[in-house]
Structure 1
Amino acid sequence: MARFTSPFSATSTAAEVLEGVDLHGRSAVVTGASSGIGVETARALAGAGAHVVLAVRDVAAGRRAAEDVAHTHPGASLEVGSLDLADLASVERFTESWSSPLHLLVNNAGIMMTPELRTARGWELQFATNHLGHFALALRLHPAMVEAGGARIVSVSSSGHGMSDIVYEDLFFERRPYDPGQAYGQSKTANVLFAVEASRRWAAEGITANAVMPGGIWTNLQRHWDPQALADTKAYVADAGIAMKTPAQGAATSVLAAASPLLTGVGGLYLEDCEEAEAVPEIVNGTHGVRPYALDSENATRLWDVSLELLRST
């Protein structure tokens, strides 16, 4: 099968990708939509006519983001919902209040390179938030997506998946020294594997899922980085002439996966710069390509089963 490409590129914005796309009558949930690429994803979807729910941990910040979107698109249909992905009770409350078809689920929220932190259930925080919280959210919203017909899921991953495959023998760093990069890496690998398996399991119900790599963007996501490491990275990027994206450009691949007619009925891909990434033995220049283990179907099925068991054990 030919690799998916599009007329868009690394410099395209989310608004450009959705130009001419009509999403009136469709509903969307965007997690982590209070800042960064999340709010730009919500802005583009709302601008195309979708009813957008900004699912956020900080409701006050979410309301400010919604006001900002409404300023760009007066009359936009917006709603703010409280959602803490690290707290399964919060996921349950959010989904219990959902009572209509859901056409678009953008699993955008994430944390990166945190110190060693754990949820109340003892799960390592990055894996719990980035993967397990979104996994639980999708499972609970599955009936609403079936009802919508042709629903799409966007799983926001990262080139950081190249730092680690899933370490099933020690998912939560209980027997090995905690490494924030490896913890982030396996959570982002999990985001890709989720898209692969969700597409396989739910395709007959009209649901497709794709993983996306937004690109290199300076956002609040880097807030847990060591200050010196962040400064060194920014200096390296500047010296090497590496082009960083704006949040609006970073959201372009997300909205392409969420709503572009070009991807109707297509699932299980890892997209970057508005096209399907090439499988590579290592990530090129720190940002490009997808590692084969993140697309492996057996790995995807195993992770799904392990994740189900974790949720059932709570």
Structure 2
Amino acid sequence: MTTASIIIPSYRGATRLPRLLSALAAQTTDDWEAIVVVDGDVDGSEHVISKYSHLPIRTVVFPENRGRVAALNAGHEAARGDVLIRCDDDLEPAPDFVANHVASHSSRRQGTIGLCVNVLPRTRYSAVYGDHFGKLARNHAYRANPDGTWRYWAANVSVTRDIWQQIGTYDPHYRAYGWEDVDYGWRLHKAGIPVVIDPSLETKHHAAAVTAAIRAARAFRSGQARRIFDSLHGTNAAGPAAPEAVGLWNNAVLKTSLVLDYRRTIAMARAVDAIIHITPTPIARKLIALVVEAAVVAGHRSPENPERDF
């Protein structure tokens, strides 16, 4: 049996997959397989993958877009390995990626997380917010209490086959963007399985959120998906969905969220994108943070049904 199976959900991934598959070709171990699940081939992704037929790659191609949860579950079902590694198609793994994931499961049963290091184009957005926020988020994750690391379950994670069989599939309630991964981390935690962040597995992430507008749109959809998590696991499982009305910043976030729906979130974020080029860095950073944080709260409060935009 193959030691490691790499499950790659991919939607509109034709331009991203060559970088990922080339990185997998450079792995220090050859005891792996990859299953690329093409979630509706609208851009020639299957043809791109066919150029890597010299690698141990199999494909599952959906005739239409079914969403990330369906893709993840199909990939895990098709996997033959003992260690199951989720690797999103916008990652660029280091040569020891597979070996380090496998090694993390050698001594105990655990869920393993590798954090993603965003690689962003050199724009005003990345200079004032994207790089800064990414560094803060990683630092916060590494300082997290072991009881809270499950919140970081995301694009670069692994479990053993027996854990997958114990926990079950990603939950199909999550049909749009976000929180299917946090949900899985929570279920690992509730089952008493340690969730460990492994610094050796930090991986380059060629992030799609390269403007305030894209970042805010994802924040809004994430807030909507959080409602599903709360309905399944209770409102206390992941902590408060909105900040307490204490302090000038929290009040600004809450008041801004009251005027936002999805359309207004995009409009406000685009306005921010338009002015950060002429705004001092500290102010520009605050403006982006305000619209992003308010978008999360507004999305959670929104009566709109979540939609799959990306």
TM-score w.r.t. structure 1 length? 0.32
Higher CA-based Rg = 2
Larger RCO, structure (CA 8 Å, separation 6 or more): 1
TM-score w.r.t. structure 2 length? 0.32
